[in-house]
């Protein structure tokens, strides 16, 4: 899986790519979609240092996809769906071409340089046309901590260690980083025995997750064998599954999350490919007491490298912190490699009943939390459903999110012998609720 594009000694001629600790060195090369601020059509791009390489222009000039018409066509699209549909052979070929174009010693630099956009000259878009979105619940630490709040004696449901639990989310309200999060209205109960009210949520929360973009996918009625799973995962992004906990608590039984989740989901604009993540793969780790995974979710070869060592974090910046230029405070930090179920098991389980996954479909990993304090991937867990306060460097405290608060998700991969790579950011700022629905005009 490791090839010349992962060589830690590779450098790029593009400014910013050489910065140590930067998210987008030449070993990363994530894909996204953007529109130039000066105007023009949406197009695909590749992040490199402080710049975005215009993939459409590169294809039009024959710099990429020169020997594959389907690949050249996919590079000229306005979303990543066609590229995702092509499969790993094409993804590998494109990555190798891009790596060679952008290397310090590239003889194509003169043709490539004019195709770079400064990051601040473009607006990033949702990178794919997302037909379906499914959110999982696969961190055993999150499931245990969150479960303990409501069922102290029995936090983990018995199904957790046998299947990746998930629910069907809402694709239409997925937005890209930077889009505000307006505090939603919803039905909720303020106390266990009081009648429900329809009001703006007072328990607005984030969920620190990764998003998984599906590659070629499967046709209806044809499950994906676990041995083929890696061929169907294009890459990962950051995902914030905004949640209204009071709405969620009242509505979720017996059919699961609905309006407490569907008002908004934010993702980062850059999709880090599975190939870029190859150096950070490791065996999936489970406690010796864990029951064996069922046969359709087990593959000895894949199990040796199905976890991905990604450090994820969520930071919070209040309006007061912003005014004082204090920077955001990290409120949760966790390791994705500790996730109980792998991205491949989520995908294969999803298709195991014959449900068809399509290129550009998005799967959320579920909140990523670790076992210890400071490793909580949401405020529900961190504040024990509002019972404890989060103290911020500004002297402010939070139980849940206030208007003006901004949540910033980040993720990074580091491993000795390889260049570290990052995911960029997924940001969203809370805006006050809309005027009451159905209220008389006055
Ligand atoms: Mn979630």
Look up the CATH number of domain 4-124: 2.30.30.230
Q: CATH topology of 4-124 equal to that of 133-431?
A: no
Q: What are phi and psi of 77, to 5 degrees?
A: -75, 170
CA atoms within 13 A of residue 394's CA, in its CB half-sphere: 19
Compute the distance between CA of residue 363 and CA of residue 211 in angstroms, rounded to an integer: 6
The region, left, alpha or beta by phi > 0 then psi within -120 to 50, assigned to residue 65 is: left
At the topology level, CATH places domain 133-431 in Fumarylacetoacetate hydrolase; domain 2 (3.90.850)
DSSP 385-399: TTTSPEE-TTS-EES
> How far away, in angstroms, is 375 Cα from ligand 1 center?
16
pLDDT of the residue at 84: 98
Q: Which residue has the tokens 């009242």?
A: 250
Q: What is the pLDDT of residue 19?
A: 84
- Find out whether 63 and 153 touch, Cβ atoms under 8 Å: no
SS3 84: helix
pLDDT at 435: 84
Predicted confidence at residue 438, as pLDDT, reads 64
Mean pLDDT per block of 10 residues along the chain (442 residues) reads 96 93 96 97 97 98 95 98 98 98 98 98 98 97 94 94 98 98 97 94 98 98 98 98 98 96 98 98 92 96 96 98 97 98 98 98 98 97 97 98 98 97 98 79 52
Helix (H, G, I), strand (E, B), or coil: what is residue 120?
helix
Domain boundaries in the chain?
4-124, 133-431
How many whole angstroms from 33 Cα to the centroid of ligand 1? 24
Distance 143 CA to ligand 1 centre (A): 11
Catalytic annotation, pick one of 142, 232, 349, 350: 142
Residues lining ligand 1 (ion), CB within 5 A? Answer: 135, 207, 241
In the reported structure, the alpha carbon of residue 137 is separated from the centroid of ligand 1 by a whole-number distance in angstroms of 7
Does residue 142 have an active-site annotation?
yes
The C-alpha angle with vertex 316 and arms to 315 and 320, in degrees rounded to 5, equals 145
Distance from residue 317's CA to the centre of ligand 1 (Å): 21
Tens-place pLDDT, residues 84-107: 999 999 999 999 999 999 999 999
C-alpha 360 – ligand 1 centre gap (Å) = 19
Tell whether pTM > 0.85: yes
Task: Compute the distance from residue 304 Cα to the ligand 1 centre, in Å.
Answer: 27
Cis before 369 (ω within 30): no
Give the pLDDT confidence of 170-179 residue by residue, as tens digits.
999 999 999 9
pLDDT (0 to 100) of residue 441: 56
pLDDT digits (tens, 9 = 90+) for 96-153: 999 999 999 999 999 999 999 999 999 999 999 999 999 999 999 999 999 999 999 9
Q: How far is the CA of 409 from the centre of ligand 1 (A)?
A: 14
| Residue 418, token pair as written in the block | 């390889």
pLDDT of residue 439: 61
CA of 318 to the centre of ligand 1 (A): 23
Tell me, in angstroms, the distance from the centre of ligand 1 to residue 104's CA.
Answer: 41
Q: How far is the CA of 340 from the centre of ligand 1 (A)?
A: 15
């Amino acid at each position: 899986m490791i090839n010349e594009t992962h060589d830690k000694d590779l450098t790029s001629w593009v400014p910013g790519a050489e910065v140590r600790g930067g998210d987008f060195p030449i070993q990363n090369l994530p894909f996204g979609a953007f529109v130039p601020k000066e105007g023009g059509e949406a197009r695909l791009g590749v992040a490199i240092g402080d710049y975005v390489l215009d993939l459409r222009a590169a294809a039009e000039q024959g710099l990429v996809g020169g020997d594959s018409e389907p690949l050249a066509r996919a590079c000229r699209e306005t979303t990543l769906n066609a590229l995702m549909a092509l499969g790993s052979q094409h993804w590998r070929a494109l990555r190798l071409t891009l790596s060679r174009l952008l290397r310090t010693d590239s003889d194509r630099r003169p043709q490539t340089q004019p195709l770079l956009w400064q990051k601040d000259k473009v607006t990033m878009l949702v990178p794919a046309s997302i037909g379906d979105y499914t959110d999982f619940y696969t961190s055993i630490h999150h499931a245990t901590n969150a479960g303990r709040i409501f069922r102290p004696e029995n936090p983990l449901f018995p199904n957790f260690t046998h299947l990746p639990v998930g629910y069907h989310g809402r694709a239409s309200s997925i937005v890209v980083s930077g889009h505000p999060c307006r505090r939603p209205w919803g039905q909720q109960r303020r106390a266990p025995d009081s009648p429900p009210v329809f009001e703006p949520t007072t328990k607005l929360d984030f969920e620190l997750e990764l998003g998984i973009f599906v590659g070629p996918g499967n046709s209806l009625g044809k499950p994906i064998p676990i041995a083929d799973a890696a061929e169907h995962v294009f890459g990962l992004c950051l995902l914030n599954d905004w949640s209204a906990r009071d709405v969620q608590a009242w509505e979720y039984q017996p059919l699961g999350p609905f309006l407490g989740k569907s008002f908004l989901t934010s993702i980062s604009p850059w999709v880090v490919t599975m190939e870029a993540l190859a150096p950070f793969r490791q065996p999936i780790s489970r406690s010796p007491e864990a029951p064996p995974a069922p046969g359709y979710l087990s593959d000895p070869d894949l199990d040796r490298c199905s976890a991905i060592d990604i450090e994820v974090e969520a930071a919070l910046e209040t309006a007061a912190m912003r005014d004082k230029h204090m920077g955001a405070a990290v409120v949760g930090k966790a390791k994705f490699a500790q996730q109980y179920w792998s991205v491949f098991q989520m995908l294969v389980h999803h298709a195991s009943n014959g449900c068809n996954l399509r290129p550009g479909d998005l799967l959320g990993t579920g909140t990523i939390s670790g076992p210890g304090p400071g490793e909580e991937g949401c405020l529900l867990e961190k504040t024990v459903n509002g019972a404890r306060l989060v103290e911020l460097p500004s002297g402010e405290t939070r139980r849940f999110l206030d208007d003006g608060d901004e949540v910033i998700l980040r993720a990074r991969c580091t491993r000795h012998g390889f260049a570290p790579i990052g995911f960029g950011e997924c940001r969203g700022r809370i805006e006050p609720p809309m005027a009451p629905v159905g209220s008389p005009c006055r």
